[in-house]
Structure 1
Amino acid sequence: MSFNSWSATATLGDLLVRSANRFGSRKAIVFSESEMTYAELLDGSVAVARGIIGLGIAPRSHIGLLANNGHELVTGLFGAWLANCVAVPLNARHKAHELGFIIDNSQIVLLLSAAGDVTHVDFRDNIASALPSLACTSSNKLELPEAAALRNIVLLSGKAPQGFMDAKEFAAAGDKVTADDVDHRRRCTKLRDIATIIYTSGTTANPKGCMLTHEAMSRGPVERAEKRFRSGEYDVTWGGGPLFHIGSLAPFIGSIGASGTYLTDTFFNPERAVALMARNGVTAMWPWFPAILQPLLDQPNFVAATEKLRSMLLIGPETLVNRVQQFLPQAEIMQACGMTETAGIFALSDPDETPTQRATSNGKAVPGIELRIVDERGFDVPPNAVGEVLVRGYCVMEGYYRDKTKSAEALDKDGWLHTGDLYTRSTEGRLVFHGRAKDMLKVGGENVAAIEVEAFLCSHPAVRIAEIVGRPDQRLDEVPVAFVELMPGTQVSADDLIAHCKGRIAGYKVPRAVYFLNAEDWPMSATKVNKRALRAWLAELAP
């Protein structure tokens, strides 16, 4: 018997150090208007780690990051990991309501942000809105009632207003910290330490923080980047999504671990993306969802820009996958299953699958991961029967931060993660997605918990009941639509309620339409509103 595969798992800081030592002059990450070699990425990350340590922040502390894709975000992530701290990347689209909750719930000690480019968003305003007590402080050493653990907010670029620390002050804090001090912190990090807490929407009123270990975040992505996707000496991988999202962070980590080059941009723009691919000779792509891929296919020079492409991972309908396979016959088109709670992928297309199988299924369990499909009683279902997929293995989260109840609901005593997603599994092991058992929407690749939007709508004084359902959308898969009952004697328009949400919760969560019902109009199922009936009504109202 011979074994020809093994795991070379490392902590996330080790991945960067290893690649920088081997290929320091190679491009690690390339944006549309700037780039960083491995040596530059390591130097910048060490500088952040020195600042973290210089501020007196202890190992295993939680470091928040609020920035778009750019130098500040990637050096902030690796700086936190090199300092043996836990990175908490915050969704750059979140507004005050979500940011305030996550900053407090995650017990962030230091928040790193950026204001060098405020063309699209000024994070200083968002932070100030999320932390109203910030306006009353005259020091950058914070004591805020709405975020008890938070001590410093650092801007890695841009002018620092009241309550913030600028990049120069942050660098000065690390002046007395040596590279050996950082190296000691890095080497004290364990594979099963929590590396990152990523907040994802669930069936609760607020996002939940998935605790992911260094092993969970590095082992699968690096193994696949080194063996499953590699097409040459090293790959040039394009990812269109934000690095605070596991769908982009995982392939970025894989690229760093395999000493490849990762291409991305501050914001997704299809024309800029195709130009970036052409300049750098892209060999692998992670568009993930139709909302990102379809605009690329419409670019006239997309095929020419991807002549070196050898692999693409996406999740989409059969018609789209077939179209891509015809566009790019030289590339292997793969589908997958994944979620934040599994640090990304837990199932992937096999190399020997036919084009039809790739277009109609979502792959098989990746090596080292176990899957079950169970019915409502928890019993395994026969092949091709619909049931909930359960996942067990190294990639599964350790639980939800500061939420023992939800953790116990998601993770059973035998280590199985109950995903709430419905699948079938063929006799050969291929999975096919059949929707979400949980009351969730998928808006352009972002999870949206209906109850989260419902709770926010109910914060309007005129709203008595709000129910959110998904309306099919060609570009974003689905978008949220609200059914609302008003308080007696009140009047408010659909536009008023939409305006109530805009700028206060992330744009993709804002209802696209609002329909009003009277108390006696709600379709009921026992004691609950029957959302299946609401969806049927919606199909009649807006076919």
Structure 2
Amino acid sequence: MSPVETASTIPQLLAAAARQYGDAPAIEDAAWRVSYRELDALRRQAARALLALDVAHGERVAIWAPNIWEWIVAATALHSVGAALVPLNTRMKGSEAAFVLRESGASVLFVIGEFLGVDYPALLDDEELPALRQRIALRGTAPGCLSWEAFIARAAEVAPTAQAAREAAVHGECMSDLLFTSGTTGKPKGVMTRHAQNLQVVRDWSAVVGLQPGDRYLIVNPFFHSFGYKAGWLAALMRGCTLLPQQVFDVQAVLACVARERINVLPGPPTLYQSLLADPQRGAFDLSSLRVAVTGAAAIPVEMIGRMRDELGFSTIVTAYGLTESCGFVTICRPGDAPQLVASTSGRAMPGVEVRCVDGAGQPVPAGQAGEIVVRGYNLMQGYFNDPQATAETIDADGWLHTGDIGVLDADGYLRITDRLKDMFITGGFNVYPAEIEQSLLDYPGVAQAAVIGIPDERLGEVAMAFLLPAPGRVLDSASVISWCREHMANYKVPRRVQLLEAMPLNAAGKVTKNVLREWVTR
């Protein structure tokens, strides 16, 4: 294998890629173009700037921005000084982002100045962030933030030899990132993963989907998500692709970009392909360059797989399943799998990864029988940050990670996901956790009890629906509740429907029976 394939840290990967791919284009972001050699020089320069800010090995550094080239430079720079990446969802409100910043103890924040009309630095004005000592505006200027240009200028204060020495101290077992997910408690938890395990699983994923040097890879999936980060820009740089970041998903913009830039690789949630297929002007664009599609996170009609091949021109279409706690990867279909298999399953286990479906006692169930999906392998997280109890509740004594998802394995090891023990559902590719929304809804004046379920949505797969029990003597208005939610929650979490109840359906233990709520909706 080449040095790129054997790298055990992300900075080693960037250095090896610079040697192997040289002047080949690494990133093209609007008018900005950078080669692999130039990208490596940029991340070393930014790493020196971080050292000038006294960022220590093991510190956490956050990035809150859309898909732009500076995101990648900042991420690879912080990796190069031994810091751990903490990505923040651009749809978060200030309080949500502040919670992650406090929980992670992030000392530095790279933040977009303005995006889609939102002043991101200002969202944190009223938040207590005792560990955060430096903010850097990736684009534009903002009060209290160092500009990107001023930040990069700080590199002159640190000798290249000092940066090289720090980088040499980074090894494969160092924490590379701390991605926050939400659990059934409704509180986001930080998932710790390491350089070497991430690179190994990205290497295997890239080989399965067939990424090739020179491929032009349009990354619509957000960089703050493991799909856009690990299966996105990290995979692209490992395989010598040219990555093109897309800040927001707009059907016409994607179609125009595919035609203009001759895009070969376009992963995304099923809604991305459904939107492309439904666009009435699609025929005006030359999509003949498309080759690789990777999707998942929702059920896919078999007919759509056929249309993706016939009308969008993809020759490789695979579905996959993963979770943050598994570096984002568990199972994947293989090129050549039948459309029925691609549409109805999430593939089979990645190399070196074990997948089982088990009963309530943790014993494997026969093929074709439903059980909880458990996973074991090198790809499992190192644990939840500062939460050993939650870690022990998730990974058992035999090393199996209990996903909380229900699935069925067939005789060939292909996995079909049938339900979710944790009630999590997916809206447009984003994981939505009802407990988190319920916890927020209890802050609304007059709400005594809240229950949230996912209901079908033609465009987004599923969306949230809230059932609310008013406090005695209080009157609630559904439209006002939804309006309040839009102000206090990321958009994908906002309930699209609110139903007021006189009493919640409860079981003998006093818990809300969400199956009853689902039955009410389907009547």
TM bracket, shorter-chain basis: over 0.9
- Is 1:435 matched with 2:422? no
Determine which of 405, 418, 433 is the counterpart of 1:449. 433
The aligned residue for residue 174 of structure 1 is 155
* RMSD after superposition: 2.1
Q: Provide the C-alpha distance between the structure 2 equivalents of 1:277 and 1:394, rounded to a whole number of angstroms.
A: 36
Task: Report the secondary structure of 1:471's partner residue.
Answer: strand
- Is 1:215 matched with 2:196? yes
**Is contact 1:67–1:113 with CA below 8 Å preserved after alignment?**
yes
State the shift of 1:119 in Å.
Answer: 3.8
Determine which of 106, 123, 127 is the counterpart of 1:126. 123
Q: Taking structure 1 as the reference length, what is the TM-score of the superposition?
A: 0.90
Q: 1:303 to 1:294 in 2, by over 3 A?
A: farther
State the shift of 1:292 in Å.
Answer: 1.7
Task: Report the secondary structure of 2:383's partner residue.
Answer: coil
Task: Please list the CA deviations of residues 269-320 of structure 1 after superposition, one character each: whole Å capped at 9, or x if unmatched.
Answer: 1211122222332222212x12222112234447964323332111241332
**Is contact 2:209–2:335 with CA below 8 Å preserved after alignment?**
no
Q: Provide the C-alpha distance between the structure 1 equivalents of 2:53 and 2:313, rounded to a whole number of angstroms.
A: 53
Q: Provide the C-alpha distance between the structure 2 equivalents of 1:398 and 1:350, rounded to a whole number of angstroms.
A: 28
Deviates more, 1:474-483 or 1:11-20: 11-20
Determine which of 136, 140, 150 is the counterpart of 1:158. 140
Superposition map of 1:274-285 within 5 A: 274-285=255-266
Task: Please list the CA deviations of residues 71-128 of structure 1 after superposition, one character each: whole Å capped at 9, or x if unmatched.
Answer: 221111111111111010111110022111101000101111121x544432122222
Determine which of 24, 47, 53 is the counterpart of 2:45. 47
Determine which of 330, 339, 347 is the counterpart of 1:363. 347
Determine which of 226, 236, 254 is the counterpart of 1:255. 236
The aligned residue for residue 75 of structure 1 is 73
**Is contact 1:263–1:277 with CA below 8 Å preserved after alignment?**
no
Determine which of 83, 91, 114 is the counterpart of 2:112. 114
State the shift of 1:402 in Å.
Answer: 1.4
The aligned residue for residue 468 of structure 1 is 452
Q: Provide the C-alpha distance between the structure 1 equivalents of 2:112 and 2:257, rounded to a whole number of angstroms.
A: 23
Q: Provide the C-alpha distance between the structure 2 equivalents of 1:317 and 1:190, rounded to a whole number of angstroms.
A: 40
Q: Provide the C-alpha distance between the structure 1 equivalents of 2:278 and 2:108, rounded to a whole number of angstroms.
A: 42
- Is 1:530 matched with 2:513? yes
**Is contact 2:255–2:285 with CA below 8 Å preserved after alignment?**
no
State the shift of 1:329 in Å.
Answer: 5.7
Superposition map of 1:40-439 within 5 A: 40-115=38-113, 117-129=114-126, 131=127, 146-161=128-143, 163-225=144-206, 227-230=207-210, 232-251=212-231, 252-287=233-268, 289-299=269-279, 300-301=281-282, 305-315=286-296, 316-319=299-302, 320-328=304-312, 331-439=315-423
Task: Report the secondary structure of 1:344's partner residue.
Answer: coil
Deviates more, 1:327-336 or 1:418-427: 327-336
Task: Report the secondary structure of 2:330's partner residue.
Answer: strand
Task: Report the secondary structure of 1:388's partner residue.
Answer: strand
Counterpart of 1:38, as a letter, is Y
Task: Please list the CA deviations of residues 321-366 of structure 1 after superposition, one character each: whole Å capped at 9, or x if unmatched.
Answer: 2332332566121111111111122111123422322222211111
Task: Report the secondary structure of 1:238's partner residue.
Answer: strand
Q: 1:29 to 1:523 in 2, by over 3 A?
A: same
**Is contact 1:192–1:215 with CA below 8 Å preserved after alignment?**
yes
State the shift of 1:476 in Å.
Answer: 0.9
Q: Percent identity?
A: 30
Q: Provide the C-alpha distance between the structure 1 equivalents of 2:462 and 2:57, rounded to a whole number of angstroms.
A: 42
State the shift of 1:169 in Å.
Answer: 4.0
Q: Provide the C-alpha distance between the structure 2 equivalents of 1:281 and 1:388, rounded to a whole number of angstroms.
A: 42
Q: Provide the C-alpha distance between the structure 2 equivalents of 1:538 and 1:455, rounded to a whole number of angstroms.
A: 22
Counterpart of 2:123, as a letter, is N
Deviates more, 1:211-220 or 1:311-320: 311-320
The aligned residue for residue 484 of structure 1 is 468
**Is contact 1:204–1:449 with CA below 8 Å preserved after alignment?**
no
- Is 1:510 matched with 2:494? yes
Kindly tell me the number of residue pairs found equivalent between the two proteins.
Answer: 516
Q: Provide the C-alpha distance between the structure 2 equivalents of 1:171 and 1:359, rounded to a whole number of angstroms.
A: 47
Counterpart of 1:326, as a letter, is D
Q: 1:37 to 1:503 in 2, by over 3 A?
A: farther
Q: Provide the C-alpha distance between the structure 2 equivalents of 1:167 and 1:310, rounded to a whole number of angstroms.
A: 36
Runs of at least 5 residues in structure 1 that lack an aligned partner in the other structure: 132-145
**Is contact 1:462–1:492 with CA below 8 Å preserved after alignment?**
yes
Task: Report the secondary structure of 1:503's partner residue.
Answer: helix
**Is contact 2:175–2:192 with CA below 8 Å preserved after alignment?**
yes
Q: 1:304 to 1:379 in 2, by over 3 A?
A: same
State the shift of 1:182 in Å.
Answer: 2.0
Q: Provide the C-alpha distance between the structure 2 equivalents of 1:224 and 1:205, rounded to a whole number of angstroms.
A: 31
Task: Please list the CA deviations of residues 206-244 of structure 1 after superposition, one character each: whole Å capped at 9, or x if unmatched.
Answer: 21111111123211212332x333365432222221100
**Is contact 2:271–2:428 with CA below 8 Å preserved after alignment?**
yes
Q: 1:40 to 1:301 in 2, by over 3 A?
A: farther
Q: Provide the C-alpha distance between the structure 2 equivalents of 1:295 and 1:33, rounded to a whole number of angstroms.
A: 27
Determine which of 474, 493, 504 is the counterpart of 2:477. 493
Counterpart of 1:407, as a letter, is T
Task: Report the secondary structure of 2:55's partner residue.
Answer: coil
Task: Report the secondary structure of 1:323's partner residue.
Answer: helix
Q: Provide the C-alpha distance between the structure 1 equivalents of 2:180 and 2:284, rounded to a whole number of angstroms.
A: 36
The aligned residue for residue 6 of structure 2 is 8
